[in-house]
Amino acid sequence: MRIFRDHKAIPDNARGACSAIGNFDGVHLGHQHVLDLARGPARERGRPLGIVTFTPHPREFFAPDAPAFRLMSPEARANRLAKLGVDLLFDLPFPQIAPMTAETFMKDVLADGLGLSHVVVGANFRFGKGRAGTVRTLQDAGADLGFDVTAAELMGADAPVSSTAIRAALSRGEPGAAAAMLGHWHRIEGPVVHGEKRGRTLGYPTANMSLDGLHLPRLGVYAVLVDIADGVHAGTYHGVASLGVRPMFGVNTPNLETFVFDFSGDLYGTHLSVALVEFLRPELTFDGLDALIGQMDGDSAQARHILAALDG
Protein backbone atom coordinates (compact mmCIF):
# COMPACT_ATOMS: atom_id res chain seq x y z
CA MET A 1 0.00 0.00 0.00
CA ARG A 2 1.28 3.45 -0.93
CA ILE A 3 0.61 6.37 1.40
CA PHE A 4 0.28 10.01 0.32
CA ARG A 5 0.01 12.85 2.83
CA ASP A 6 -0.67 15.72 0.44
CA HIS A 7 -3.32 16.02 -2.27
CA LYS A 8 -0.95 17.93 -4.54
CA ALA A 9 1.43 16.39 -7.08
CA ILE A 10 -0.15 12.93 -7.00
CA PRO A 11 1.62 10.77 -9.63
CA ASP A 12 -0.35 9.60 -12.65
CA ASN A 13 -0.29 5.95 -11.51
CA ALA A 14 -2.06 6.93 -8.27
CA ARG A 15 -4.84 8.88 -9.96
CA GLY A 16 -8.23 7.53 -10.96
CA ALA A 17 -8.77 5.56 -7.75
CA CYS A 18 -12.13 4.36 -6.46
CA SER A 19 -11.95 5.64 -2.90
CA ALA A 20 -13.91 5.59 0.31
CA ILE A 21 -13.78 8.75 2.41
CA GLY A 22 -13.96 8.90 6.20
CA ASN A 23 -12.02 8.78 9.45
CA PHE A 24 -12.00 4.97 9.71
CA ASP A 25 -11.18 4.97 13.42
CA GLY A 26 -11.14 1.30 14.38
CA VAL A 27 -11.73 0.13 10.77
CA HIS A 28 -14.89 -1.61 12.03
CA LEU A 29 -17.44 -3.61 10.03
CA GLY A 30 -19.27 -0.45 8.98
CA HIS A 31 -16.04 0.96 7.60
CA GLN A 32 -15.30 -2.33 5.87
CA HIS A 33 -18.76 -2.22 4.26
CA VAL A 34 -17.98 1.25 2.88
CA LEU A 35 -14.61 -0.01 1.66
CA ASP A 36 -16.21 -2.99 -0.08
CA LEU A 37 -18.55 -0.64 -1.95
CA ALA A 38 -15.44 1.00 -3.40
CA ARG A 39 -13.72 -2.34 -4.00
CA GLY A 40 -16.37 -3.48 -6.51
CA PRO A 41 -16.05 -0.52 -8.91
CA ALA A 42 -12.25 -0.61 -8.53
CA ARG A 43 -12.17 -4.20 -9.78
CA GLU A 44 -14.70 -3.59 -12.55
CA ARG A 45 -12.82 -0.56 -13.88
CA GLY A 46 -9.30 -1.80 -13.23
CA ARG A 47 -8.66 1.12 -10.88
CA PRO A 48 -6.71 1.29 -7.60
CA LEU A 49 -8.67 0.91 -4.36
CA GLY A 50 -8.18 3.97 -2.20
CA ILE A 51 -9.00 5.51 1.15
CA VAL A 52 -9.19 9.24 1.83
CA THR A 53 -8.81 10.01 5.52
CA PHE A 54 -7.50 12.74 7.79
CA THR A 55 -4.88 13.28 10.51
CA PRO A 56 -5.46 14.41 13.15
CA HIS A 57 -9.03 13.21 13.54
CA PRO A 58 -11.34 16.25 13.08
CA ARG A 59 -12.64 15.76 16.62
CA GLU A 60 -9.08 16.12 17.95
CA PHE A 61 -8.56 19.21 15.82
CA PHE A 62 -11.69 21.04 16.98
CA ALA A 63 -11.56 19.87 20.63
CA PRO A 64 -7.88 19.29 21.46
CA ASP A 65 -8.49 19.27 25.22
CA ALA A 66 -11.28 16.67 25.14
CA PRO A 67 -10.59 13.20 26.62
CA ALA A 68 -8.72 10.79 24.36
CA PHE A 69 -11.15 8.82 22.19
CA ARG A 70 -9.24 7.25 19.29
CA LEU A 71 -9.46 3.48 18.95
CA MET A 72 -6.20 3.32 17.03
CA SER A 73 -3.24 5.45 16.02
CA PRO A 74 -2.83 6.57 12.39
CA GLU A 75 -0.09 3.95 12.02
CA ALA A 76 -2.35 1.17 13.30
CA ARG A 77 -5.14 2.36 10.99
CA ALA A 78 -2.77 2.21 8.03
CA ASN A 79 -1.67 -1.32 8.98
CA ARG A 80 -5.28 -2.52 9.19
CA LEU A 81 -6.25 -0.93 5.86
CA ALA A 82 -3.25 -2.52 4.16
CA LYS A 83 -4.40 -5.92 5.41
CA LEU A 84 -7.80 -5.25 3.81
CA GLY A 85 -6.24 -4.79 0.39
CA VAL A 86 -6.20 -1.00 0.10
CA ASP A 87 -3.81 0.12 -2.65
CA LEU A 88 -3.63 3.84 -1.91
CA LEU A 89 -4.04 5.68 1.38
CA PHE A 90 -4.50 9.44 1.09
CA ASP A 91 -3.91 10.48 4.71
CA LEU A 92 -4.47 14.21 4.43
CA PRO A 93 -3.48 16.85 7.03
CA PHE A 94 -6.79 18.01 8.45
CA PRO A 95 -5.55 21.53 9.43
CA GLN A 96 -5.19 22.19 5.68
CA ILE A 97 -8.59 20.69 4.87
CA ALA A 98 -10.64 22.29 7.69
CA PRO A 99 -10.86 25.85 6.25
CA MET A 100 -11.96 24.65 2.79
CA THR A 101 -15.51 25.15 1.60
CA ALA A 102 -17.33 22.09 0.35
CA GLU A 103 -16.86 23.30 -3.23
CA THR A 104 -13.10 23.79 -2.78
CA PHE A 105 -12.69 20.37 -1.19
CA MET A 106 -14.53 18.64 -4.02
CA LYS A 107 -12.71 20.46 -6.83
CA ASP A 108 -9.20 21.06 -5.47
CA VAL A 109 -8.78 17.90 -3.42
CA LEU A 110 -11.00 15.12 -4.79
CA ALA A 111 -11.04 16.03 -8.49
CA ASP A 112 -7.96 18.08 -9.40
CA GLY A 113 -5.72 16.84 -6.59
CA LEU A 114 -6.40 13.12 -6.18
CA GLY A 115 -8.16 12.62 -9.52
CA LEU A 116 -10.71 10.19 -8.07
CA SER A 117 -13.02 8.33 -10.43
CA HIS A 118 -15.49 7.00 -7.83
CA VAL A 119 -16.25 8.11 -4.28
CA VAL A 120 -17.97 6.13 -1.51
CA VAL A 121 -19.15 7.80 1.71
CA GLY A 122 -21.48 7.02 4.58
CA ALA A 123 -25.07 8.21 4.19
CA ASN A 124 -24.54 10.80 6.96
CA PHE A 125 -21.25 12.15 5.56
CA ARG A 126 -20.75 15.91 5.99
CA PHE A 127 -17.78 17.92 4.81
CA GLY A 128 -16.47 21.39 4.12
CA LYS A 129 -16.33 24.47 6.31
CA GLY A 130 -19.28 24.51 8.68
CA ARG A 131 -20.11 20.94 7.57
CA ALA A 132 -22.06 22.49 4.73
CA GLY A 133 -21.48 19.66 2.26
CA THR A 134 -23.77 16.63 2.18
CA VAL A 135 -23.95 13.44 0.13
CA ARG A 136 -26.36 15.21 -2.24
CA THR A 137 -23.83 18.05 -2.65
CA LEU A 138 -21.19 15.47 -3.55
CA GLN A 139 -23.46 13.65 -6.00
CA ASP A 140 -24.57 16.84 -7.74
CA ALA A 141 -21.00 18.11 -8.19
CA GLY A 142 -19.44 14.75 -9.00
CA ALA A 143 -20.96 14.53 -12.47
CA ASP A 144 -19.25 17.79 -13.48
CA LEU A 145 -15.98 17.01 -11.67
CA GLY A 146 -15.45 13.55 -13.13
CA PHE A 147 -16.38 11.16 -10.32
CA ASP A 148 -19.54 9.30 -9.38
CA VAL A 149 -20.72 8.78 -5.81
CA THR A 150 -22.11 5.88 -3.78
CA ALA A 151 -23.75 6.46 -0.40
CA ALA A 152 -23.44 3.57 2.09
CA GLU A 153 -26.27 3.00 4.54
CA LEU A 154 -25.48 2.50 8.23
CA MET A 155 -24.94 -1.10 9.33
CA GLY A 156 -26.47 -2.91 12.31
CA ALA A 157 -29.76 -4.70 12.92
CA ASP A 158 -30.70 -3.03 16.21
CA ALA A 159 -28.16 -0.19 16.38
CA PRO A 160 -25.58 1.06 13.91
CA VAL A 161 -22.09 -0.36 14.11
CA SER A 162 -20.05 2.65 15.18
CA SER A 163 -16.83 3.68 16.84
CA THR A 164 -18.95 5.09 19.69
CA ALA A 165 -20.58 1.71 20.35
CA ILE A 166 -17.18 -0.01 20.23
CA ARG A 167 -15.71 2.45 22.74
CA ALA A 168 -18.67 1.77 25.05
CA ALA A 169 -18.10 -2.01 24.87
CA LEU A 170 -14.40 -1.58 25.65
CA SER A 171 -15.21 0.72 28.56
CA ARG A 172 -17.40 -2.04 30.01
CA GLY A 173 -14.55 -4.55 29.71
CA GLU A 174 -16.23 -6.46 26.86
CA PRO A 175 -13.55 -6.92 24.17
CA GLY A 176 -15.54 -9.78 22.63
CA ALA A 177 -18.50 -7.46 22.00
CA ALA A 178 -16.14 -4.87 20.54
CA ALA A 179 -14.56 -7.52 18.29
CA ALA A 180 -18.01 -8.51 16.98
CA MET A 181 -18.45 -4.94 15.70
CA LEU A 182 -14.86 -4.48 14.58
CA GLY A 183 -14.57 -7.75 12.70
CA HIS A 184 -11.21 -8.23 14.42
CA TRP A 185 -9.75 -8.02 17.91
CA HIS A 186 -9.27 -4.55 19.32
CA ARG A 187 -5.54 -3.98 19.28
CA ILE A 188 -3.16 -1.57 20.97
CA GLU A 189 -0.13 -0.99 18.76
CA GLY A 190 3.15 0.79 19.24
CA PRO A 191 6.77 0.51 20.27
CA VAL A 192 7.92 -1.11 23.51
CA VAL A 193 9.21 1.61 25.84
CA HIS A 194 11.35 1.45 28.94
CA GLY A 195 9.43 1.16 32.20
CA GLU A 196 10.45 0.74 35.80
CA LYS A 197 11.46 -2.89 35.17
CA ARG A 198 9.71 -3.92 38.38
CA GLY A 199 8.18 -6.97 36.67
CA ARG A 200 11.60 -8.56 36.29
CA THR A 201 12.04 -8.73 40.06
CA LEU A 202 8.63 -10.41 40.37
CA GLY A 203 9.35 -13.05 37.76
CA TYR A 204 7.06 -11.36 35.22
CA PRO A 205 9.08 -9.16 32.85
CA THR A 206 6.68 -7.05 30.81
CA ALA A 207 6.70 -5.13 27.55
CA ASN A 208 5.46 -1.62 28.30
CA MET A 209 3.49 0.46 25.81
CA SER A 210 2.08 3.98 25.94
CA LEU A 211 -1.67 4.59 25.69
CA ASP A 212 -1.26 8.28 24.89
CA GLY A 213 -4.09 9.61 22.73
CA LEU A 214 -6.09 6.37 22.80
CA HIS A 215 -9.46 5.57 24.32
CA LEU A 216 -8.91 3.65 27.55
CA PRO A 217 -10.70 0.31 27.76
CA ARG A 218 -11.78 -0.81 31.22
CA LEU A 219 -8.70 -0.86 33.44
CA GLY A 220 -7.63 -4.30 34.56
CA VAL A 221 -6.03 -7.54 33.43
CA TYR A 222 -6.66 -9.18 30.04
CA ALA A 223 -5.81 -12.35 28.17
CA VAL A 224 -4.06 -11.11 25.04
CA LEU A 225 -2.57 -12.12 21.71
CA VAL A 226 0.74 -10.46 20.92
CA ASP A 227 1.96 -9.97 17.34
CA ILE A 228 5.60 -9.11 16.59
CA ALA A 229 5.67 -8.00 12.96
CA ASP A 230 9.31 -8.53 12.07
CA GLY A 231 12.79 -9.32 13.34
CA VAL A 232 14.13 -12.49 14.88
CA HIS A 233 11.13 -12.77 17.22
CA ALA A 234 8.45 -12.28 14.54
CA GLY A 235 5.28 -14.24 15.21
CA THR A 236 2.13 -14.44 17.32
CA TYR A 237 2.36 -15.18 21.03
CA HIS A 238 -0.05 -15.65 23.92
CA GLY A 239 0.16 -13.44 26.96
CA VAL A 240 -1.47 -11.62 29.83
CA ALA A 241 -1.56 -7.83 30.10
CA SER A 242 -2.30 -5.26 32.75
CA LEU A 243 -3.93 -2.10 31.44
CA GLY A 244 -3.99 0.62 34.05
CA VAL A 245 -2.26 2.83 36.56
CA ARG A 246 -0.60 0.21 38.82
CA PRO A 247 -2.32 1.14 42.10
CA MET A 248 -0.07 -1.25 44.05
CA PHE A 249 2.84 1.11 43.38
CA GLY A 250 1.05 4.46 43.34
CA VAL A 251 1.60 5.14 39.63
CA ASN A 252 -1.02 7.35 38.00
CA THR A 253 -0.18 7.32 34.26
CA PRO A 254 -2.04 4.55 32.40
CA ASN A 255 -0.03 2.19 30.26
CA LEU A 256 -0.15 -1.37 28.97
CA GLU A 257 2.21 -3.94 30.51
CA THR A 258 2.26 -7.27 28.68
CA PHE A 259 3.85 -10.49 29.89
CA VAL A 260 4.50 -12.67 26.84
CA PHE A 261 4.27 -16.39 27.60
CA ASP A 262 7.19 -18.68 26.76
CA PHE A 263 9.29 -15.82 25.40
CA SER A 264 12.90 -14.88 26.02
CA GLY A 265 14.44 -11.86 24.38
CA ASP A 266 14.74 -8.09 24.29
CA LEU A 267 11.68 -6.26 22.93
CA TYR A 268 12.71 -2.65 23.59
CA GLY A 269 11.91 -0.54 20.54
CA THR A 270 10.03 -3.41 18.89
CA HIS A 271 6.62 -2.60 17.42
CA LEU A 272 3.98 -4.75 19.10
CA SER A 273 0.31 -5.29 18.32
CA VAL A 274 -1.53 -6.47 21.45
CA ALA A 275 -5.07 -7.81 20.97
CA LEU A 276 -7.43 -7.69 23.96
CA VAL A 277 -9.21 -11.06 24.00
CA GLU A 278 -10.91 -11.37 27.38
CA PHE A 279 -11.16 -9.25 30.52
CA LEU A 280 -10.00 -11.23 33.55
CA ARG A 281 -10.32 -8.89 36.51
CA PRO A 282 -10.19 -5.21 37.53
CA GLU A 283 -7.11 -3.53 38.98
CA LEU A 284 -6.49 -4.47 42.61
CA THR A 285 -4.27 -3.43 45.48
CA PHE A 286 -2.57 -6.25 47.40
CA ASP A 287 -1.28 -6.59 50.96
CA GLY A 288 2.21 -7.43 49.78
CA LEU A 289 4.37 -8.72 46.94
CA ASP A 290 3.67 -12.37 47.72
CA ALA A 291 -0.07 -11.79 47.30
CA LEU A 292 0.57 -9.88 44.06
CA ILE A 293 2.75 -12.65 42.64
CA GLY A 294 0.16 -15.26 43.61
CA GLN A 295 -2.53 -13.31 41.76
CA MET A 296 -0.27 -12.94 38.72
CA ASP A 297 0.27 -16.70 38.71
CA GLY A 298 -3.50 -17.18 38.71
CA ASP A 299 -4.03 -14.56 35.99
CA SER A 300 -1.46 -16.25 33.78
CA ALA A 301 -3.00 -19.70 34.23
CA GLN A 302 -6.46 -18.34 33.40
CA ALA A 303 -5.19 -16.51 30.32
CA ARG A 304 -3.36 -19.61 29.07
CA HIS A 305 -6.58 -21.61 29.35
CA ILE A 306 -8.64 -19.01 27.48
CA LEU A 307 -6.09 -18.54 24.70
CA ALA A 308 -5.50 -22.27 24.25
CA ALA A 309 -9.17 -22.59 23.33
CA LEU A 310 -8.61 -20.17 20.42
CA ASP A 311 -6.03 -22.54 18.94
CA GLY A 312 -8.41 -25.47 19.32
Catalytic residues: 257
For residue 123, what are the contacts with CB-CB under 8 A and spacing of at least 6?
A: 135, 151, 152, 153, 154
Instruction: Report in angstroms the alpha-carbon separations of 266 from 88, 183, 261, 304.
Output: 34, 32, 14, 22
DSSP conformational letter for 161: -
For residue 130, what are the contacts with CB-CB under 8 A and spacing of at least 6?
A: none
Using DSSP's 3-state secondary structure scheme, residue 39 falls into helix
Angstrom distance (rounded) from CA 230 to CA 223: 22
* Pairing between β-strand 235-244 and β-strand 220-228 as defined by DSSP bridges: antiparallel
Angstrom distance (rounded) from CA 176 to CA 182: 10
Angstrom distance (rounded) from CA 181 to CA 204: 33
